[in-house]
Structure 1
């Protein structure tokens, strides 16, 4: 009958989550009064790379320096109607040379960040992580995603889902340190970050290396070997992000149900988790490679405009935080 709602067996009200993107807008707003970060955009020879640079420049986040084959860059810009006349261009014969030149620009302080263009991530990172690289520090490089989803009450960092394939204990310690630096940069908080070390279970099992590493990381934090954070683990994903799940398991922890950072056991777990949050939960997400002299922004063709801009905003804030530490 017209105007009458038909009932079906098992028909129930839908669960609705509303994502207002307030945390995303707060991060963007925190960059409004900062100077654009001079950023070497590596091999931007297609529409996606040039649009990413243009959009970030339009938002006042970066001043692009286009590093790559001059003719291809100009041709791509003309094809998609992007005016690049106001940006510096550094000519390179190919993508390998473009990555090398971006490293030299950053080392010479002619760029405060590096941004991925139309090349593979490993090709971009190779000259950055090389033993002879002037951008290396005592830290291992690692990637962290900052993620905001309607299903969680604050920003959540997921690390490392991009760079380190099967990190050992020493690498995981640096991954945590890098993530804490990023968290401090965009959260503005000087309280200790809460780090949950993920595993399949929440107790130590000698046959599961991830649980042994988790226990060791906790003790390293207790002894001051990893600073600026509270670490707990091993924690399964449910009792890491849900206080109710933790209570049901009898877990008493200042981290469980309220982590700022999720440390994953390996790249597969991190990659799956980050993409699930992005493509199914529609999280706002931005990511950086940290641990080097300058932050590295890894834009992807599949990334949304919001993701690209958030990654650049995180780079601006991370560079400011690093500059502040150097001045202390």
Structure 2
């Protein structure tokens, strides 16, 4: 079981360098993250953007530019398209956004002509460290960045992506909590109705690689005392591993609360394309980007993971 970001990075280092195409790598934090990830042996970066600026930045960081693959494309949209094509062709196994808007980057990544899109729904999976009550675990929240108002079908796909991440982290049967404003079903709150339907679908389909239940208010799935006080009986009560948000707004706000109020790092990976996609904020600090890169390395193949404590 991978319990924290330090262990996640250690596993990514053991997996070995994966080629990562970075679109519009024209800012300091992006280049620094690429340098650090390469130094740790997690990735071999392909830096696409203003080549002269990238080379100067590498030199400012006391790096030999000849040790990095740098491709010149100064238009951010064209740089994004070039990065997507590189990953779609199999020349790289991870795609990452640099100094380009998320909307431009995603519209390029999801264009049929680029060749990276599949029939699967693309969804954002976020991972953070939970250190409450003297425990140590990685928790998952989804979807806070891509699907604005997912319905039942979309949420099922979103759950399956998050479960795939949980399995790679080491959860055998992750517990999935479907969140809303209340644990009670309310006809005017669609997410409560969706949650009941989704939980029944997972039960009826006899899906045994996870436990799905809801609706829940947030406190019900992260604090057992709160759940018991409301008379909630569920294997998810106070012990969720995956938090499924009712919509993108809730997921986005929850994620930003983790970062700006709780001081947490938040690793992101978007799944559903032919390769993992990283969509970090352009202002995200280096450690956050490194954690996201490590998560993408983890999800870039299905091979058995190396032992954390092994050589």
5+ residue gaps in structure 1? 1-20
Query: Which of 23, 37, 57 lines up with 2:18 in the alignment?
Result: 37
Match of 2:239 in 1: 258
The size of the alignment, in residue pairs, is 301
Distance 1:166 1:255 in 2: 24
Distance 2:266 2:288 in 1: 5
Contact 1:67-1:102 within 8 A present in 2 as well: yes
Max Rg structure: 1
1:163 aligns with 2:146: yes
Over 6 Å off, 4+ runs = none
Match of 1:177 in 2: 160
SS at match of 2:132: coil
Match of 1:216 in 2: 197
1:130 aligns with 2:111: yes
SS at match of 1:144: strand
The alpha-carbon distance between structure 1 residues 310 and 81, as it changes in their structure 2 partners (threshold 3 A), is same
How far has the Cα of 1:129 moved from its partner? Answer: 1.7
Q: Bigger relative contact order, structure 1 or 2, given CA contacts below 8 A and separation 6+?
A: 2
The alpha-carbon distance between structure 1 residues 314 and 54, as it changes in their structure 2 partners (threshold 3 A), is same
**Aligned pairs for 1:93-172 within 5 A:** 93-151=74-132, 153=135, 154-172=137-155
In the TM superposition, what whole-angstrom CA distance separates every residue of 1:40-91 from its partner, at most 9, and x where no partner exists?
Answer: 0111112121111111111111110112232343344445554332112233
5+ residue gaps in structure 2? 305-311
Distance 1:83 1:299 in 2: 25
Query: Which of 215, 227, 246 lines up with 1:234 in the alignment?
Result: 215
TM-score, normalised on structure 2? 0.90
Contact 1:149-1:283 within 8 A present in 2 as well: no
**Aligned pairs for 1:246-325 within 5 A:** 246-321=227-302
Distance 1:197 1:319 in 2: 27
Aligned Cα RMSD in Å? 2.0
Distance 1:172 1:192 in 2: 18
TM-score, normalised on structure 1? 0.86
SS at match of 2:65: coil
Match of 1:8 in 2: none
SS at match of 1:145: strand
Query: Which of 172, 175, 183 lines up with 1:202 in the alignment?
Result: 183
Distance 2:27 2:62 in 1: 12
